[in-house]
Amino acid sequence: MPETVTITDNRTGESVDVPIENGGIPMSAIQKLMPGTWVLDPGFGGTASTESAITDLDGINGILRYRGYPIEQLAEHSTFLEVCYLLLFGELPNTEQMDAWVHDITYHTFVHENMRKRFMEGFHHDAHPMGMLMSAIAALSTFYPEAKDIDDPANRYKQINRLISKGPTIAAMAYRASLGMPFNYPDNDLTYAENFLSMMWKVAEPQYKPDPVLARALDILLILHADHEQNCSTTTMRVVGSSHADPYSAAAAATGALYGPRHGGANEAVIHMLEEIGSYDNIEPFVESVKAGEGRLMGFGHRVYKAYDPRARIVKEQADRVFEVTGKSPLLDIALKLEEIALSDDYFKSRNLYPNVDFYTGLIYQSMGFPLDMFTVLFTIGRMPGWLAHWQESLEQGQRISRPRQIYTGVDVRDYVPLDAR
């Protein structure tokens, strides 16, 4: 059986046998048969924008693998920095490689004092941390103008390093600025997750002592968020990167895409939803309102997963460990009941709506003390290596500038009408 599909243009009777390669068909073959005819696919529900070797998603069976390694194994055995290395360079590092990588990240956590004092303190007291983070990431491009030299692998490595190492520093400053508290400097004696918690919570003690259970839970959550193939924000990173903009500008754009409640902003929206429901008695009426089209079940549904998001299962396991330290979230029982009701209701089952990564993460973040407006900031820190791995891959692929076509549905040509004749 040939791995081809035959397309016939009935207007001309001409046909073309199009090869099916790795589950896709090249648009170029169709263009030869029907030049000037475009495949219309708003939201890219059925369009592959690229080939990629980084992350493999099987939405039907709920499978997620980074460079072939199952997410369950990475969450159990790996660390976020090791996963960053894996996503970026394709292999798990050996001891020497890991030591060098951790050193490079650890010793680039500081930001320029102008960023700290003038830029971050310049925001209004109630500025949303995501707006601050997105702006600060873009501002980093002004501190490192050499980042425009995207063709130099050594230069790319340096900028990749800075974006992964400085993310938590900027994120913690955004939080501390909102409280009017002094910024904490990075502590190079701590691990990546521990250092972030230290910059967030350290007050006057000589050295912050993070709870190991909470630090490990945060590290695992960062692993779970590290990449997810061509999601909205990663596609943004690749599209902006395809114009050969510097990586800070591309990452700022990706941060903006992640900010939306349909994407990374969902973890914050889930808590608002659970607080709005407020009690067991309100769950059924709320579910009925969603089924009536009066809103969405935030933290449910996914463009790719038509089964349980494998990350949500791991997050749920982590929640139990965190709650042993922090005390159980008062919203957990409502979340569990809401999941139980939704998973047994035909409206959600018929639409393959299951909990996604955002459904339970917010409960953990809130129990660890993070305010709601920091949740998507945490997602940004986690997703940064995935964005950078895809940015680097698209440059190595020699990807053309992203420039989709459109189907024009506006008015036909017409002549200009002077103002006094309208």
Taking CB under 6 A as the rule, does residue 301 contact ligand SDX?
Answer: yes
Nearer Cβ to ligand SDX (209/262):
262
Site membership for ligand SDX, residue 303 (CB under 6 A): yes
- Is 263 among the catalytic positions? yes
For ligand SDX, which is the closer residue by CB, 163 or 190? Answer: 163
The question of whether 373 is a catalytic residue gets the answer no
To 10 degrees, what angle do helices 266-277 and 358-367 make?
80
Is 45 or 145 the residue whose CB approaches ligand SDX more closely? 45
Catalytic member of 302, 309, 373, 390: 302
The answer to whether 315 contacts ligand SDX (rule: CB under 6 A) is no
Q: Does 357 bind ligand SDX (CB under 6 A)?
A: yes
Looking at beta carbons only, is 62 or 186 nearer to ligand SDX?
Answer: 62
Q: Which stretch binds ligand SDX (CB under 6 A): 68-76, 86-94, 175-183, 353-361?
A: 353-361
User: x/- contact string, 208-237, with ligand SDX (CB under 6 A)?
Assistant: --------------------x--x------
Is 302 one of the binding residues for ligand SDX (CB under 6 A)? yes
Residue whose C-beta lies closest to ligand SDX: 301
Check: CB of residue 382 under 8 Å from CB of residue 221: yes
Q: Which of 297, 332, 335, 389 binds ligand SDX (CB under 6 A)?
A: 297
Answer for which of 77, 124, 262, 272 binds ligand SDX (CB under 6 A) is: 262
Return the number of the residue (244 or 351) whose C-beta is nearest ligand SDX. Answer: 351
Based on the residue annotation, tell me whether 358 is a catalytic residue of this protein.
yes
Two structure tokens written together for 253: 């754009």
Stretch that binds ligand SDX, among 6-14, 206-214, 328-336, 351-359 (CB under 6 A): 351-359
Q: Among 105, 290, 335, 389, which residue interacts with ligand SDX (rule: CB under 6 A)?
A: 290
- Residue 298 as a binder of ligand SDX (CB under 6 A): the answer is yes
Which residues make up the interface to ligand SDX (CB under 6 A)?
43, 228, 231, 262-263, 266, 290, 296-304, 351, 353, 356-358
Active site residues: 263, 302, 358
